[in-house]
């Protein structure tokens, strides 16, 4: 599918699912209108767009609905492009995200990050350490999806306590990351819980997520209760 400005909105509306729109609106996702296009449909469309003039779409199309933002992020992930261009458009994407759906469904497509972690780490630092709520969440989801590895876990666990807490969607991503860190790197993550250096919400929510996980032993679930705030 090639992007054509005059017909694009009509094409998106044709893909809308009324029941999914009603369901999404109940969740109160973001400020932009949602047409109600399901994620698998958006992925298919993004894959098609990424093979044509997706840059024109990314740069020119007004974000008239949440699905447009999600599509732009997915196109960036699926497109075959040089890493410098990826960073250029990633910066633009940081400026437009305004819901957790737009962050959480797009980052898994950013496979180019795997071979360029050092530069991506540098790029997302400003968003981790002082940015708008969904910009910080986007950076956190990038950490979650690509940086919880043996060679990066120490840096991740060092930076996490420095991130400003108190914004709901940041805090939820924060707790999510900590729970995954505990599963993958128990001893290292346990030290953070022991220090009790996080906000009450993040600490307790992360412990809750660990206790809900099938990958955490019963004994560890009981142990973590000692570190609730």
Per-residue model confidence as pLDDT tens digits over 93-128:
999 999 999 999 999 999 999 999 999 999 999 999
* Structure tokens belonging to residue 168: 């709901």
Residue 182: the pLDDT is 98
Distance between CA atoms of residues 133 and 127, nearest Å: 9
Q: Which residue has the higher pLDDT, 24 or 140?
A: 140
The answer to pTM > 0.85 is yes
Residue 22: the pLDDT is 86
Residue 28: the pLDDT is 67
Across the range 180-191, mean pLDDT stands at 97
Over the stretch 4-58, which tens digit does the pLDDT of each residue have?
888 999 999 999 999 998 888 777 677 888 899 999 999 999 999 999 999 999 9
**DSSP sequence for 148-201:** -STTTHHHHHHHGGGS----HHHHHHHHHHHHHHHHHSHHHHHHHHHHT-S-HH
Across the range 205-217, mean pLDDT stands at 97
**DSSP sequence for 86-108:** HHHHHHHHHHH--SHHHHHTTGG
Across the range 178-206, mean pLDDT stands at 97
76 pLDDT band (50/70/90 cuts)?
very high
């Amino acid at each position: 599918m090639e992007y054509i400005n005059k017909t694009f909105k009509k094409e998106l509306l044709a893909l809308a699912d009324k029941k999914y729109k009603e369901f999404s609106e109940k969740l109160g996702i973001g400020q932009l209108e949602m047409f109600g296009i399901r994620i698998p449909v958006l992925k298919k469309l993004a894959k098609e767009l990424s093979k044509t003039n997706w840059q024109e779409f990314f740069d020119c199309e007004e974000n008239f609905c949440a699905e447009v933002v999600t599509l732009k992020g997915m196109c960036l992930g699926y497109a075959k492009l040089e890493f410098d261009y990826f960073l250029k458009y990633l910066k633009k994407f940081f400026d437009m995200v305004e819901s957790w759906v737009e962050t959480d469904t797009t980052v898994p497509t950013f496979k180019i990050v795997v071979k360029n972690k050092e530069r991506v780490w540098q790029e997302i630092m400003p968003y981790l350490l002082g940015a708008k709520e969904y910009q910080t969440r986007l950076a956190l989801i990038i950490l979650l999806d690509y940086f919880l590895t043996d060679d990066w876990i120490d840096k991740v666990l060092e930076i996490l306590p420095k991130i400003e807490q108190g914004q709901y969607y940041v805090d939820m991503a924060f707790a999510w990351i900590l729970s995954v860190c505990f599963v993958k790197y128990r001893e290292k993550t346990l030290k953070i819980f022991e220090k009790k250096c996080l906000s009450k919400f993040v600490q307790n929510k992360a412990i809750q997520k660990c206790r809900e996980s099938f990958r955490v032993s019963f004994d560890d679930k009981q142990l973590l209760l000692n570190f609730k705030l």
